[in-house]
Every structure is written in C-alpha cells, then in structure tokens.
Chains A and B, each alone.
Chain A
Amino acid sequence: MIKLLRQPLLWFAIAGFLLFVIDARIVTDRKQIIVTTAQQQRLATLWETQTGAMASPKELSSLISNWIQEEILYREALRLGLDEQDSIVRRRLIQKLGFIAESDSEELVDVAVLRSFYQQQIDDYTLPVRYSFRQLYFRLESDAVATLSKIEGGGLINELGESSMLNAEYSYRSALDINATFGANFADRFPKLHLNAWEGPLSSGFGFHLIQIVSVHEAEITPYNIVQNQVIMDYQRYQQEASRDKYTEELTDQYIVVIESE
C-alpha cells in the first residue's frame, strides 16, 4: 500500500480526478454516466467469482463507485487520446474487431455450402486403409510356429496363445495405430497377409504373433453425415478466416495509403 502511495502516477491521477470533479461542477453541460443494472450484475458476479461470497450491499456500492471512478478516468484517457500510439491497446482493438468480423460467419449453416466445402477438402475426410484382425501372442517363435501348424490341423483358436495385455481382436486399425500398439514397423507386413488365413509369426516389441486378417477396410471417404460435425467446425474456422480477410479487404478499400519516403 505504501509502495502504491509513493507512485507519482497515482497522485497525478488523483489530482487529475479532483480537478475534473471540480471542473465538472462548474461547467453546466455535464456528461452522463449510466450504470446499467446489467453492469451492476456483472460487478456482483465478478466479486462472487473472485471471493466465493455474495457481495453485501455495502460492498456492492463500493464496487459501483469504483467502477464509476474508473469509467470517468477511462473516458478522460480516451478524450486525451492516450489510447493512440499504444501498441497493446492497438493490438487488443484489432483483435476485438477481428472477433466481430469472424462472428458474422458463425450463425449460418447451409448444407449445400457445407457439402461443397467437404468435397473441396475431401482428403481431410478420407480414412487410410484399416485392418480388423485377430492375434495370438507367444513369447517364443518356436511356440508360435508349432501353434500355427496346430491351427492348420484344425485346432481350437480360443485355447491357443499366451495371455497378455494385448487384445485378442482389434477393429479398424490403421498402420499408425497398429505400430503404436505393437511397435515400430509391425504393420509393414499387413498388406501382404491373406484374408481369413492365420499367418505368421510376425515379430513385435513383445514377442511373436499369429495374425488373422478378418477384414481390410480400404481407404475410404467418410460419408458426409458421419463427419458433419467435423465439417461444420472446419468450415466455421475456414469461414472465420475468410470473412476476416474479406472484412479487412473491404476496409482497406476505404483508405488511401501513403507510405512516405525519407
């Protein structure tokens, strides 16, 4: 507090405020400050968020009078043009204007437009080749080989293989997903495996595996209605950028720009 009182800026501000009050009392056409009920509510909510308690009437009145003082100082600062030549204020105002420009785009969702956007960006909505497969795990390669011949002789798959944290079945896994689970390069041999046949052993970071590909899901465009939410999000982001650019462009047309040379 003492440190604060030593700030010349504070004394300057207080002196300025007093002068302003005196001045305002002399001049007849005084400006009006309206503290709306919405503003009062905002102050009360903010107090509650920060302190965890409801503001008492006394606290609320002090919040409001603080706000009025700030508002007066703020308006005076604007009148004196203190906001000019300040890069932080400049950047914040640009950002806020950007939000306004972007918000133009948010409410409108037109299916035809979305579908055409989806077609343009179809790569983003195309799934890579994925595999659904079963696997049996063995610590030793020799056990895997022996089991493979057992299966080929008609053995029961349910009772084969060693228990592990790996699943017995995986559905719709891309090469990236498979490598994340089994280790680098494990999926490299998958394109050469035959549908429904038990094959292997394939070595992984854990040991050895017999693999049965149950189905191969070719690279596939995801139907529009399944990715519709994603398309809406992507489109909104795209449109925000586009409408921001357009807005800037339109504004630029209102100006004649002169770049002075020395």
Chain B
Amino acid sequence: MDVANRLLRRLPVWAVYLLGALPAPWFFCQGLTGGLGVEPIKALEHEYGELALQLMILTLAVSPLRRLLGLNLMKFRRAIGLLCFFYVFCHLLVWLVLDVQVLGQIITDIAKRPYITIGMAAFVLMLPLALSSNNLSVRALGRTWTRLHRLTYAAALLGAAHFVMLAKGFQIEPLIYLGLVLLLLAFRWPALRRPGQLPSTETASRS
C-alpha cells in the first residue's frame, strides 16, 4: 500500500482531470462515427450516466479506502467529485438536447415521471457542491462546507435510485450500483449519528 500511495503522490491532480474528462469527447466521437451502434443517443446518454455513477461511488469510497486499506486518494477527491458532476451534466445535456428535444415534453417528464424527477433532483443537489468545490469556498464556509457537502450522500442515493427505476424488468446491474452506494453510506452512519462530531476524513478535503 505504501508503494501505491507513493506512486499516487507523484501523480499530479491535473492528470486525473485530464484522464477523467477524456471519455466524454471519446464517446461523443464514437456516437458520431457509429461506434455506439445504431441508436447512439440512448447509448451516449447511458455511457455518461453510468460514468457519473461510477465516479460518485469512487468519491464515496475515498474515505473508506483510506481508513480500511490505508490507500490515500484524498488528494484526488475534489477532482473525482467534479468529474462526476461533469458527467451528470453531460448526461443531462444529451437527454435535453439530443433525446427529448421538445421543451414541453421535458417539463412534463421532469414533473410527471418519478425517475426523471429524482435524477433532476440529484443534479440540483450537486450544483452547490460543484460551485463550492474550490479552496476559497472551503475557507469561507468553514464547518458549513462540510455539512453542505453531505448532500453528496443524498445525491448518490438519488442517482442510484434513478438507475434502478428506469430498468425494465428485474435487472441486476442497477441494483449492484445501489448496493454499493448503500454500503458506502452505511460506512458513514456511526459518524453521522454522533452529534457535533464530524468524521475526521470528511473535513480534510483540501487538495
């Protein structure tokens, strides 16, 4: 683990941003050139959504990985979180612009279709998180920042539920994502129950 941590220390954060963002244009080009099959809109929407969920799970895993295995990804947590938001945003854009297209139907869908309402709620919850993911906000908000960023838990739950709810029939994959999110949230439970005391790793998010 020490070797892994030493290697990770040498990896610059900008490289994580760069590598993490690359799949977005890659999948888009695949969609343009037929690499995503004959229905590229749904495929692209799905790729971005799934990447967002995976990155969400990775941000939630940073603390447990450090505490249980000693693997230190703290330096990259902000990057992972922001990349997650980036893919949620891409996912939303594909849905709005390429998939549904009609403004009236977009509004109806958000209001009337529970899985879309939930997905949209997750996006809205993530907005303040993305906007406050900078050193200035961390300093200015102090302890409020920590509390604010617990919205991640709600967003993760909503995101996983969104995937489960859109599946047709009984499908395993979305349930695996939901299970992972629940597991990672359960890990926070003892700390959250102690009033006034914050889990130590939750405050150390400067990078």
A and B are interacting partners: no
Question: Which positions in B face A, CB cutoff 8 Å?
Answer: none
Question: Which positions in A face B, CB cutoff 8 Å?
Answer: none
